[in-house]
Structure 1
Amino acid sequence: MFQNDVHPFDARGVAKRFRHAAIFGALESLEDGEVMRFVNDHDPVPLLGQIQQRYGNQVGINYVAREPGNIVIDFTIQLGAPAAAGIPAAAAATGSCGGGGHGCGCSSS
């Protein structure tokens, strides 16, 4: 993989109420084989579940760093992989990642 195939996404700079929508939009703009390097201050475990429900194996998830206050995850687009079957995209768009005490606020108004 070439360095220009890795696209940084720093979630800390995105307003909390827009984060999940921005992340989904960014993932959907990538081409097969490209990587979005996601940086955050908390581990977004519920978001990862939403990504798996929404995209199945078409988005690979690989932690680069997983320590308190420093989470780095590579999301790799793998269009040849089977997608999740029978799960509507709207079902994956609900919920909140909680933010490990900081509160993501993604589903609050």
Structure 2
Amino acid sequence: MSHDCSSESVSARPHVFDARGVARRFRHAAIFGALGALLPGEAMRFINDHDPLPLLAQLGEYFGPRVDVVYHRRATGDVVIDFVMKS
């Protein structure tokens, strides 16, 4: 049985990415890879223990207006952001 990833339906629920469980030296590469795999209209819910301002700047440079950043929580030790891919 074959599988075509390009024909998957777009999920209404964000894909969860909990960065707290990823080794620090791998985090940025893993996040870029995960965002690059999203289809237009999909979102990744990013959970972290700090506000990732340097990462947000890098994402802005790389993805530009193709990704929206939506904060849900922005407290010390508790940050939740949705990254929404646009078409």
TM-score normalised per structure 2: 0.85
1:53 counterpart residue number: 61
Aligned residues: 77
Distance 2:36 2:80 in 1: 19
Would you tell me which structure has more strand in proportion to its own residues? 2
State whether residues 15 and 43 of structure 2, in contact with CA within 8 Å, keep that contact through their aligned partners in structure 1: yes
After the TM superposition, which parts of structure 1 deviate over 3 Å for at least 4 consecutive aligned residues?
none
Structure 2 unaligned segments of length 5 or more: list them: 1-10
Q: Find out whether 1:13 has 2:21 as its counterpart.
A: yes
1:31 is paired with a residue of what secondary structure?
coil
Alignment of 1:19-98 (within 5 A): 19-79=27-87
State whether residues 19 and 27 of structure 2, in contact with CA within 8 Å, keep that contact through their aligned partners in structure 1: yes
Deviation at 1:21, TM superposition (A): 0.1
2:12 to 2, 7, 21: 2
1:71 is paired with a residue of what secondary structure?
strand
**For residues 46-91 of structure 1, what are the alpha-carbon distances to aligned partners after superposition, in whole Å with 9 as ceiling and x for unaligned?**
1000000000010110101000100000000002xxxxxxxxxxxx
Deviation at 1:45, TM superposition (A): 0.3
Deviation at 1:2, TM superposition (A): 2.4
Structure 1 unaligned segments of length 5 or more: list them: 80-109
TM-score normalised per structure 1: 0.69
CA-atom RMSD in angstroms: 1.0
